[in-house]
């Protein structure tokens, strides 16, 4: 019996995206993983991570995040830095809501978001995508990848929303305390940015994509995801 959430000490939201139904089968287990930051992996966590067989990590964080909290991964794992946007800190400072952020990732950063699917399609080994929470940037990449290979939208939304429960408690408390130490007030908006992944946020973003582009596939095509790349992605992710 497969378990989607993985026990890797030092992470809270490391999940396998296998087992979702598609028109031609289901997504492969052990092929595409998603996670919160990898900077706090313990010695035990490194051993548990290695046992998952992940050989490729795509880090969606900005330069400041990577410099202050570098990944800890087993020797031999290939790491690719691929920032979705230039400053996560700015979103807190700008008092964005989780809805603003989610819309913005899809509609304002498609030029960096969509090419991530190409990295997934051509990765040479089981791949993990992560940011800091594994929630917004990671959530968008995974949602687009699952949608592109035919996973039902309700399953895509469920996968996105699962993060909130995984991060609840210790992870959220630690990150809110870090913001307070920086002198930032933890308003309802800030709490939502740090801790929430509501279905309504991704549903609204997808509706806006549908309205502006016609469909997610049209959105992907207009930002460089051609049929050949999507076929490679499907071949890799679907069994």
In angstroms, the CA 207 to CA 221 distance is 17
36 token code pair: 């919160």
Sheet harboring 78-81: ordered strands across?
Answer: 15-16, 32-35, 127-130, 56-59, 78-81
Give yes or no for residue 237 having a pLDDT over 90.
Answer: yes
For residues 117-124, average pLDDT: 96
Q: CB of 148 within 8 A of CB of 230?
A: yes
| Distance separating alpha carbons of residues 236 and 149, to the nearest angstrom | 10
pLDDT at 184: 83
- DSSP letter at 63 equals H
pLDDT for 50-85, tens place per residue?
Answer: 999 999 999 999 999 999 999 999 999 999 999 999
pTM above 0.75, yes or no: yes
Q: Does residue 190 fall inside a structural domain?
A: yes
Confidence (pLDDT) at 4: 96
Residue 183 — very low, low, confident or very high, per pLDDT cuts 50/70/90?
confident
Both structure tokens of 169: 């408690």
Q: What's the domain count of the chain?
A: 1
The model's confidence at residue 2, banded by pLDDT at 50, 70 and 90, is confident
In the chain, how many H helices and how many E strands? 13, 7
- Give the domain extent around 162: 15-237
Beta-strand relationship, 15-16 and 21-22: unpaired
Q: How far apart are CA 68 and CA 181, in angstroms?
A: 15
CATH code of the domain containing 180: 3.90.190.10
Angle between helical axes of 98-108 and 199-213 (0-180°, round to 10): 30
Where does the pLDDT of residue 46 fall: very low under 50, low under 70, confident under 90, or very high at 90 and above? very high
Q: Which residues contact 113 (CB under 8 A, 6 or more apart)?
A: 84, 105, 106, 137, 140, 141, 144, 223
pLDDT at 146 over 70: yes
Contact criterion met (CB below 8 Å) for 88 and 141? no
Residue 47 has pLDDT above 70, yes or no: yes
Task: Indicate whether 4 belongs to any domain.
Answer: no
Residue 8 resides in a domain: no
Evaluate whether 101 touches 192 at the Cβ level (below 8 Å).
Answer: no
Calpha distance 173→169 (Å, rounded): 6
Q: Could you tell me if residue 2 is inside a domain?
A: no
In a domain, 196, yes or no: yes
Task: Identify whether 79 is part of a domain.
Answer: yes
Residues contacting residue 211 through CB under 8 Å, at least 6 positions apart: none
């Amino acid at each position: 019996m497969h378990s989607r959430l993985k026990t890797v000490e030092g992470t809270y939201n490391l999940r396998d995206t296998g087992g979702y139904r598609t028109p031609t089968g289901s997504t492969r287990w052990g092929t595409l993983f998603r996670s919160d930051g990898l900077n706090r992996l313990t010695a035990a966590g490194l051993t548990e991570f290695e046992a998952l067989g992940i050989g490729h990590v795509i880090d969606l964080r900005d330069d400041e995040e990577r410099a202050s909290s570098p990944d800890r991964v087993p020797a031999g794992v290939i790491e690719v830095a691929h920032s979705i946007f230039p400053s996560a800190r700015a979103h807190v400072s700008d008092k964005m809501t989780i809805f603003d952020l989610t819309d913005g990732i899809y509609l304002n950063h498609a030029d960096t978001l969509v090419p991530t699917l190409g990295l997934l399609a051509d990765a040479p080994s089981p791949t993990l995508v992560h940011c800091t929470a594994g929630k917004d940037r990671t959530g968008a990449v995974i949602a687009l990848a699952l949608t592109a290979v035919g996973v039902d939208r309700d399953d895509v939304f469920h996968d996105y929303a699962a993060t909130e429960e995984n991060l609840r408690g210790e992870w959220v408390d630690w990150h809110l305390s870090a913001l307070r130490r920086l002198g930032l007030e933890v308003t309802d908006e800030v709490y939502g940015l740090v801790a929430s992944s509501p279905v309504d946020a991704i549903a609204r973003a997808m509706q806006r994509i549908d309205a502006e582009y016609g469909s997610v596939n049209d959105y992907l095509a207009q930002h460089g995801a051609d049929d050949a790349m999507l076929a490679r992605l499907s071949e890799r992710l679907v069994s």
